[in-house]
Every structure is written in C-alpha cells, then in structure tokens.
C-alpha cells in the first residue's frame, strides 16, 4: 500500500491523520464511575492534534459512532490513531473499530480485531499468560454470585469486572477476607454490570507498571508505583487514586529495572496479540515473585499534560511524547508498506 506522506527531518510521515475517540453519553454506562473513565475522551484526543500538526500533518477528529464509516470514506485519511475504548458503553465492542478500518484499508495504530477481542476478556488473558509461562495470581471466573468457590483459592481475594478496565470498582471494598463478603461483592458487581467477575488472590507487595513501545524497534520501560498511603492494610491503586485525586497525590512513579520482568513483558505482549504499545500491571511479592494482574492493549494515550502512564513513565527515561508519537506513525507506515518491523536488540529493551 502506498501512503501520501510528508518528510520531517528525513522521516516519512503520513500527510493526513484521523484521531478516533469514544462517543460518550451518560446513558451508555450503568454507573457514574464507569462514565468518569471515558467522559473526557474527546478532550483527551484533542490534546494529540497539536503534536501532529507540528510535524506538518493535517489532523481531523472522529467520534466512534455509526457515522464513522461515511466520514472516513469522504475524508480518506492516510492513517488513523485509534483511541476508542468502548462503543455505546461496551468495551467488548471496541474491536469493531479496527474491523471498520480493515474494511476501508486504512492503516491504524494499536491493536487489531483479534488483540482487542482478547484483551477485553481478563479471564482469557490470564489463561493465555498462564499457558505461556507468564506468572499470574491464582484465579477463578464467576458467572453468578452462587458459583462454586475453588477451595484452593486463598484469602484475601480481589474481585474485578471481567470486561471493563479503567480500575472501575477497584477499591478497598474489592478485597474480601472471607466468603460472606466475597459473595456480597459478586452479587453487586454481576447485577450492576451484567457481566462475569474474575476473582484472584490478592498479592501483597509492590506494584510495577510496565510499558512496551513498539516503534521501529521494541523497548520495555518499567516504573514502580511508590504509594503515599503505606500505613493501610492493603496497598493498591484504586479507582479513586486514578480518576478522582490529583496527580501524585496517592502515588508517584520511580524507575525500576529487572531483565527477567522485561522478558515476561515481551512475552505477554506477544501472546496477547498486542501491537504498537501496551501496558501491564505487575505485583511483586515479598519472596521476589512477579504476578501479572492487568493487561491493557491501547492504554490511555496522550502527552504528559494528559497525565497518562505512557507519557509519565517514558518521560522519566527521557522520551518525550513527540518521539512516542513519531515512532508509532513510522511503525504503522512500515506495516502498511508491507515491511517487517525491526527486531529488538539487547540494548533496545533497556
């Protein structure tokens, strides 16, 4: 495929780029918390446009709704940055966006149909990681609050919505120390969100955020969350921490390094069929064992002023958002032109 491009400092970049974001209406979401995770989707997407325009790229915004196909056919962007997390409030429908783009033969950043379908199901991700030697906590999927409880699971247990990300319903109340509390929690989550719940053993210990950026080469960036509320019984990153408090109020990032964890991240990225960039949350217990507790394909993407993990963490490593953006554009161009991505070398995974 041949794209219309502009040359910036010797690099070929697309001439016209579309940015697709989630269409967000309050009635799409069963709770205010889930709505909060997406209510600023358009504003967040608009933060990216000035960075593209500095490269001399024409930019246009698109809402991920029924008009999308018609508008894309009319405008014919050379490439699309896909930021859609949900359609009509359902995260598991977001894989429809790369489906549309594939039909229209428009290159795009981020995960494809298969990758997005996989990572929207936490139970499936756990299975894939487990089968490929990437450590995860012991877990069980519940379809009803009365399902049999695996007696090998050890309390405390944490309950998570199987098909919703963004730390929705992750609070201290998500952790159960006994079966009675667990059953009550399951009843509330399943009846409210009409979906299954994955229950895992809560790993007491440190938490590390892992970012993988797949530009013309592949790099893994690690950062430990340093929590301010260390006196609490269970230390974890909650919905409140991520969405309601000011940046740095509950935790801040600190560089972390371990070659073993980087290898785990690369394997997890591959087996869950991610592309371009991905985010993993990992717990480190007191015995020094890693456990992957969350996987995010197409995690929140934007410049440092949008206060998202990818820019905050990579900035610590001296990588500015403009460089992240350029790497994704170049990578997408290579894919569109049928060129293979360059293999990573040892120094490129630092």
Gap between the Cα atoms of 102 and 60, Å rounded: 19
Out of 201, 220, 249, a domain closes at 201
CATH number at residue 266: 3.30.470.20
For residue 230, give its domain range: 205-349
Are 155 and 266 part of one and the same domain?
no
Structural domain count of the chain:
3
Residue 188 resides in a domain: yes
CATH classification at residue 197? 3.30.1490
Query: 269 and 289, same structural domain?
Result: yes
Neighbours of 251 (CB within 10 A): 21
pLDDT in tens, the chain (350 residues): 556 767 777 778 899 999 999 999 999 999 999 999 999 999 999 999 999 999 999 999 999 999 999 999 999 999 999 999 999 999 999 999 999 999 999 999 999 999 999 999 999 999 999 999 999 999 999 999 999 999 999 999 999 999 999 999 999 999 999 999 999 999 999 999 999 999 999 999 999 999 999 866 789 999 999 998 765 788 899 999 889 888 778 899 999 999 999 999 999 999 999 999 999 999 999 999 999 999 999 999 999 999 999 999 999 999 999 999 999 999 898 888 775 444 443 344 44
Residue 299 in contact with residue 278, Cβ under 8 Å?
yes
Note whether 143 and 58 are same-domain residues. no
What token pair was written down for 86?
Answer: 């949900």
Q: Is 343 in the same domain as 216?
A: yes
Q: Give the integer Cα–Cα distance in Å for 239 and 20.
A: 25
**Shared domain check, 210 and 158:** no
- List the beta bridge partners of residue 7: 12
Same domain as 338, residue 221:
yes
Residues 28 and 156 in one domain: no
Nearest Cα neighbor of 81 from 339, 325, 272 is 325
Is there a contact between 229 and 333 (Cβ–Cβ < 8 Å)? no
Can you tell me which residue has the tokens 């995260």? Answer: 91
Co-location of 157 and 232 in the same domain: no
Q: Does a structural domain hold residue 76? A: yes
Q: Does 92 share its domain with 152?
A: no
Those residues whose C-beta lies under 8 Å from the C-beta of residue 197, and which sit 6 or more positions away, are: 141, 142, 159, 160, 161, 162, 186, 189, 190
DSSP secondary structure of 284-305: EETTS-EEEEEEEES-----GG
Q: Please tell me whether residues 275 and 326 are part of one structural domain.
A: yes
């Amino acid at each position: 495929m041949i794209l219309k491009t502009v040359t910036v400092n010797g690099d070929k970049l697309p001439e016209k780029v579309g940015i697709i974001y989630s269409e967000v209406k309050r009635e799409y979401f069963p709770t205010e918390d889930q709505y909060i995770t997406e209510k600023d989707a358009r504003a967040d997407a608009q933060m990216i446009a000035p960075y593209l325009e500095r490269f001399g790229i024409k930019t246009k915004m698109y809402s991920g709704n029924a008009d999308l196909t018609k508008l894309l056919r009319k405008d014919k962007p050379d490439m699309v940055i896909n930021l859609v997390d949900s359609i009509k409030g359902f995260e598991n429908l977001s894989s429809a966006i790369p489906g549309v783009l594939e039909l229209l033969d428009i290159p795009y950043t981020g995960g494809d149909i298969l990758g997005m379908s996989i990572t929207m199901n936490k139970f499936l991700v756990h299975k894939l990681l487990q089968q490929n030697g990437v450590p995860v906590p012991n877990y069980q999927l519940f379809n009803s609050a009365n399902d049999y409880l695996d007696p090998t699971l050890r309390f405390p247990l944490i309950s998570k919505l199987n098909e919703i990300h963004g730390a929705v319903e992750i609070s201290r109340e998500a952790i159960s120390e006994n079966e009675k509390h667990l059953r009550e929690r399951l009843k509330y989550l399943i009846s409210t969100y009409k979906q299954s719940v994955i229950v895992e053993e809560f790993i007491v210990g440190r938490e590390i955020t892992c970012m993988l950026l797949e530009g013309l080469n592949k790099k893994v960036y690690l950062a430990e969350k340093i929590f301010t509320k260390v006196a609490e019984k269970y230390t974890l990153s909650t919905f409140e921490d991520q969405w309601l408090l000011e940046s740095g109020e509950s935790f801040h990032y600190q560089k972390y390094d371990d070659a073993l964890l980087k290898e785990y991240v690369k394997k997890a990225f591959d087996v869950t069929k991610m592309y371009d960039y991905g985010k993993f949350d990992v717990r480190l217990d007191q015995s020094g064992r890693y456990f992957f507790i969350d996987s995010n394909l197409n995690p929140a993407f934007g410049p440092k002023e949008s206060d998202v993990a990818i820019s905050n963490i990579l900035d610590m490593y001296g990588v500015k958002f403009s460089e992240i953006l350029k790497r994704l554009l170049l990578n997408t161009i290579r894919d569109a032109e049928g060129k293979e991505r360059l293999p990573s070398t040892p120094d490129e995974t630092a």
